[in-house]
Structure 1
């Protein structure tokens, strides 16, 4: 009960009879109640709809799916890789694992959709990592994850202080690590609350024309889960943070928010 959310002692026994932050237990229960499988949604009509779309609309539909697939691939693993090594309380540890698991369902749902509309799904998936436009949009999120993951690795290996690593002097500072955590969580919040909804708008626009409605039903299920991911971690962390430290980060977080908002306006 004395440990902070992050950067305290590592979690030992996963016990839930005593919880420092009961909000995470509520989030876990809510997330589990939203469980669904992509195969539950009938997308058979979508195949006929897709075949009748003009080429430019096929391009829009598939490009949107590629973007969603890449970002949910990131979200399916990055919370675990970035946050579990530094988490210090069991209820938060379980929430992170539950959150990441739900993201893997989202990734599977895109495979379900793409297999249905094309006979060569491998061509769609192979293009994702080689498409510069999609990678560029994803970089806005992965940059902060990568920065946190690399810094935490150094912290766990060497501890705080100055270290000579591969001929370079590297400074490991706990306050700087907390800043990187804050910025990573801010970028995730913006991903879940703005960036994903830009792509959802595209999916729902087709459904408004009574096209690709199976896809829209899947996105609706995904959207419901994304609401729980608009991170209570960040909100709780802000409440526990030193005000001056948060103010010092406002310039960077404003830039992240502005960039994501521009994407929404452009959509």
Structure 2
């Protein structure tokens, strides 16, 4: 059995004490312990902070909220429409279906944020469509995924395995591991200023979840490469995967340059964010076995180097006891 393929619904309906992919049993347990509910956060208490934001700060905050409102739902669509139906292992299904549930929680959280501050719902959900660079970011994901989900694939072929791997990469690595991590920095900058503490507490929980989703994707890709060594022998495809990660990073850098320009907003500049994104991209590359592109080994954002946040950016090193904050 391989991690992905065509199966009958009667197959793989037995859990064993010796799972084929123990990492997904472990990740399921970690995600299960990380479940939280946005109603437990007193987001309304941040209303005065929200009103006190400058025009640029409020625009950055609103755009981040609007981007997450639609993007969390996009992640769900990608999961459901592409690789989740092709997972063969019950523990892998449990891990990724828990991710799917957590995306619902995230959608709920950002919905509560926009309601709490009286944001324009239609405008928020159109952010990723009306901003030309955000639309390019989303199109990088959507255009490739639609080719897979609408054209259909044969998961029992190498070509099919490549397409599944690409879908996982775009969803769990590029979107959740680069695009989302970029916006997280904007929220943590607010925390560093002593503003929007309750909202940022929720974002901290979202980040912990996303670090697990990132690991879901990385482990799935590494397993697929191990099971299909022919993929790694295809130099053109390997380069395409690396280029996709770099293309995602370039789009995100283009976006933050567009938003920040030569202004300092929330105490951070475009130059700092650019280095942060290159740092994150190098991490993504190395986690998949590539050489780093930018050779930035330390997070350049000082407020993310603080001890109280460091546990959140170590990606996979947070112990499960640190998840149950609420």
TM-score by length of 1: 0.84
Q: Which residue in 1 is equivalent to 2:238?
A: 250
Render the CA deviation track for 1:125-183: whole Å, top value 9, x for unaligned. Answer: 3555444433222112223322221232x659xxxxxxxxxxxxxxxx93222211121
Task: Report what 1:110 is aligned to.
Answer: 110
The 3-state SS of whatever aligns with 2:83 is helix
Distance 1:53 1:215, change over 3 A: same
C-alpha deviation, 1:113, in angstroms: 0.8
Q: Structure 2 stretches of 5 or more lacking a match?
A: 254-272, 278-326
Q: Please, which moves more after superposition, 173-182 or 205-214?
A: 173-182
Matches within 5 A, 1:21-60: 21-60=21-60
> What is the aligned counterpart of 1:227 among 193, 211, 221?
211
Q: Could you list the per-position Cα deviations for residues 196-241 of structure 1 after superposition, in whole angstroms to 9, with x for gaps in the alignment?
A: 1100001111111111122211110011011111122112222222
Aligned: 1:179 with 2:177:
no
**Distance (Å, rounded) in 2 between the aligned partners of 1:258 and 1:61:** 26
In 1: Cα distance, 2:119 partner to 2:142 partner: 31
Is 1:260 aligned with 2:248? yes
List, as ranges, runs of 4+ consecutive aligned residues in structure 1 with deviation greater than 6 Å: none
Other-structure match for 1:206: 190
**Aligned counterparts of 1:75 and 1:111: Cα–Cα separation in 2:** 16
Q: Which residue in the other structure is 1:218 paired with?
A: 202
Gap change, CA 1:8 and 1:20, over 3 Å in 2 = farther
- Summarize the Cα distance change of 1:130–1:71 in structure 2 as closer, same or farther, 3 Å threshold: same
Which residue of the partner structure matches residue 10 of structure 1? Answer: 8
Structure 2 residue matching 1:4: 3-state secondary structure: coil
Alpha-carbon RMSD across the aligned residues, in angstroms, is 2.3
Which 10-residue stretch deviates more, 137-146 or 217-226?
137-146
Count of equivalent residues: 248
Question: How far apart are the structure 2 equivalents of 1:257 and 1:110?
Answer: 26
Deviates more, 1:209-218 or 1:80-89: 80-89
Q: 1:194 aligns with which of 174, 178, 181?
A: 178
In the alignment, structure 1 segments of 5+ residues that lack a partner are 157-172
- How far off its partner does 1:70 sit? 2.0
Q: Distance in 2 between matches of 1:46 and 1:140?
A: 34
Work out whether 1:236 is the aligned partner of 2:234.
no
TM normalised by structure 2 equals 0.69
1:121 deviates by 3.3
